[in-house]
Structure 1
Amino acid sequence: MEPYNVKVITYPDLTKQYRIYRNMVGSSDVYPRPPSDRNPFDGKVTNTILVDINQYVDHVSDVSLKRTKKKVYDYARSNDWEWFVTFTFSRDKVNRYDYDECIKKLSKWLNNLRRSSPALSYLVVPEQHKDGAYHFHGLFSGIDEKQIVWTGKYVVKRQKGLRSRFVRTRDRNI
């Protein structure tokens, strides 16, 4: 692979994203070795750590979070979605503050939906309310619409013929 520092990503709706990297990406022989010193006791070369371990852990966590957000964004942009949904849980039926319980309920619902909609594709992301309760946002396609029970005032669905525009409607018979 040839080293590069610019990557062009073309999404299905033909929009492009340009990623510019500070360092070259590619074969490992291009990179210089990290700074090293010789151990005074055995003469072996050892890499020195120039940062505090707590700062390093924070840095690794930040990088991981950024990479995760980028992956979610890429999945969302790389697929053609029909529905945007928000899942909130009734406090009477689910402990909305227990992430594991919310995930369990959501997973059960998704498994049931997959039985009636074998072509189902989805991307679901958790979010916390200000009070700490969990809810989820999702992008869906391939749903058998006969399985949908309308419970809210509004429905957001991709308008036929418009590739990247969702419309908000009060109509329950879309």
Structure 2
Amino acid sequence: MAVLAGVAISAYDGTQDQARLDATRFDMTELRKALLQLRRDSGSNDLPGAGVYDCTDAANGNPANANPDFNFPAEAGSNDADKIAWCQHPANFWMLFADPFGTGWNPDTHRGWRGPYLQRKSGLRNFGAINGVWVVDDAYDTPFELQMLTLDYARIVSAGPDRILPAAANVCEPATGADDIVLCLLR
């Protein structure tokens, strides 16, 4: 009896692990779809944090200033440094839930922000001095991250079962022996 109970428990644990992995992969696919739809709607190839979605005013030669075109939510803070740090946090998916420009959708040009692009926000999370980041958690209760790697691609990363996120690297594959889950996005 004890042997059968042990086999049943270990089989159940394996099923739970596979279910978390499958749920995480599904959520990553949904994040990818949302990011691609944001790009299509805006008419830009930029992902949040880059190009027209740059958190800074670098386009006008002021990278120390927050993007003046953005309507930052209250969680971003009140000074430029806080807004930039909040906006640039890799776990922050706020642009999928709120229109960064406040202009909405233009039915004449079929361009603009037509979200929210995701139906589920896991909540607000604090990361050290950065408060109120709009996160989407994986099945392991760890926030996904959007890591910009080069001008050509980015990746969505889940920390996996060990809940330790990898350092950003110029690869679309997890490190050998790591349990991280990675989905690359070509820009």
Higher strand proportion, which one? 1
- Select the structure of larger CA radius of gyration: 1
Between Structure 1 and Structure 2, the one with more helix by share is: 2
Asked if these proteins are the same fold (TM beyond 0.5), I'd say no
